[in-house]
Amino acid sequence: MSDSNSGGPSSTTPNRQQPGPRRPLQDRPIHSRVDEVPMDRSTEVTEVTAETPEVEGEPSVSNSVRDAAEWIAVVVVALVAALVIREYVVQAFEIPSQSMEDTVNVGDRILVNKLSYSIGEVDRGDLVVFERGNLIAGDTDELIKRAIALPGETIEVRSDGNIYIWGPEEGPEDAFLLPEPYLSDSAAQAFRIGAGIPVTSDVWHERCLNQPREVGRCTLDDNSFFVLGDNRGNSADSRVFGPVPAENVVGEAFFRIWPISAVGGF
């Protein structure tokens, strides 16, 4: 009989593998159990409901502020544009006196083109608006008259009431008779008979170059205009305050906007 304690291990005893050396922690595979943990649904719901969508039809405060800012910007731009246009392009004026009847009447409202003489020159017959300045005392800042004689020309009102004009290098023998179709018959007649402001006496201003002055004659310098009102018998114009300096000129009246019955251009 053999001794059960001698020799190799008994066949009934299982083989047990001896444990090997421990591997360093960083070399061990990490088996995360996170994926195996069911997602907390309450957390998911919280994340979704944390950002509440805007309700359609209810603008946010930021949108209201933005809309208000846009409207303010539009109003500011419109005001600036209006001021620029008024200052440099077109301005409305109201007629304060009878001096230009029947072309324009008291209370009429007209538009004045301020660019006309920035890009062009005053033409004979233009309805010119100019600053009163120190030309003559009065309540209004601007006056409107008709341009009759241009820089360098000589104007003469003769005893028959007609206006004659000649150029810088010319004399009375070269004068031409000024046609004035814009005058009403009554204004022309009053002008000829000397009603109101005398036209055949020595009323010309000292700014005329012809000194000593000659009766009813004025020679202009290179920077002045001689203006008259169409209502010659009731107009304070260059016969009273002399030539108008070019720097006083504001612009040309070109359109009447009031009254409605008389709307139109000149």
| Residue 102 structure tokens | 């029947």
Burial call 208-228: b when 16+ CB within 10 Å, e when fewer: beeeebeebbbbbeeebbbbb
Q: Annotated catalytic residue: which of 99, 116, 224, 238?
A: 99
| Residue 210 structure tokens | 């012809």
Nearest to 154 by CA among 215, 208, 202, 230: 208
In the residue annotation, 114 being an active-site residue is answered as no
CB 217 within 8 Å of CB 201: no
In the residue annotation, 99 being an active-site residue is answered as yes
Q: How far apart are CA 243 and CA 209, in angstroms?
A: 10
Nearest to 256 by CA among 180, 120, 144: 144
Q: How far apart are CA 147 and CA 210, in angstroms?
A: 20
Burial call 109-125: b when 16+ CB within 10 Å, e when fewer: ebbbbbebbeeeebeee
* Sign of the torsion formed by the C-alpha atoms of 22, 23, 26 and 30: negative
CB 103 within 8 Å of CB 182: yes
| Residue 254 structure tokens | 């070109």
By CB atoms closer than 10 A (0-12, 13-18, 19+), residue 207 is: middle
Q: Annotated catalytic residue: which of 145, 224, 235, 238?
A: 145
- Residues annotated as catalytic (active site), given as ranges: 99, 145
